[in-house]
Structure 1
Amino acid sequence: MECRAGCAACCIVISISSPIPGMSQGKPAGVPCVQLTEDGKCKLFGRPERPAVCSSLHASEEMCGAADEEAYKILAELEKLTQPN
């Protein structure tokens, strides 16, 4: 499965604890990454500065669902499940 153009759910919904260029403390869940373009592309894609967690994400039906809205819901639920109480 390929990423859907413009979806960017993984660049917005999930938290990232590692530093990102322009976000030295990482990013909280629900906040768009500063490296995300207006058309939903990553400015760091394929570059060494891209955080390992981002490079390790791969589009899949389990994570992305059948539509952007479903991806947002799935990732929000996964984010809740992975956060400490």
Structure 2
Amino acid sequence: MSEGCRAGCGACCIAPSISSAIPGMPEGKPAGIRCVQLDENNLCRLFGDPSRPRVCERFNFDARVCGEHREEALATLTWLEQDTC
């Protein structure tokens, strides 16, 4: 079952690589690197902005991926990134 993202998590803005251009990161973002659009509260500055990459818009909370807490989400997303390369 899908529900809203965990506010302040930001794991999906750190662990995976993003090949699409992001404002401030025109070549995309390597895996494990914090997106420049992730603020100090781990919230996306581009949320709701048309310049937000489509891949980011399409990512939805999934308990199997996001787990119980931020550290679990980071670990799972890091593992998925490494396993699918």
TM-score by length of 2: 0.93
Supply the RMSD in Å over aligned alpha carbons.
0.8
Counterpart position of 1:76: 78
Structure 1 segments of 4+ aligned residues over 3 angstroms from their partners = none
**What is the correspondence of 1:1-85 to structure 2 with a 5 Å cutoff?**
1-83=3-85
Match of 1:9, as an amino acid? Answer: A
Q: Cα deviations across residues 14-62 of structure 1 (Å, max 9, x unaligned)?
A: 1000100000000001111000100011111011100011001001101
**Aligned residue pairs, count:** 83
Task: Give the gaps of 5 or more residues in structure 1.
Answer: none
Percent sequence identity over aligned pairs: 54
Q: Which has the higher contact order (CA 8 A, sep 6+)?
A: 2
TM-score by length of 1: 0.93
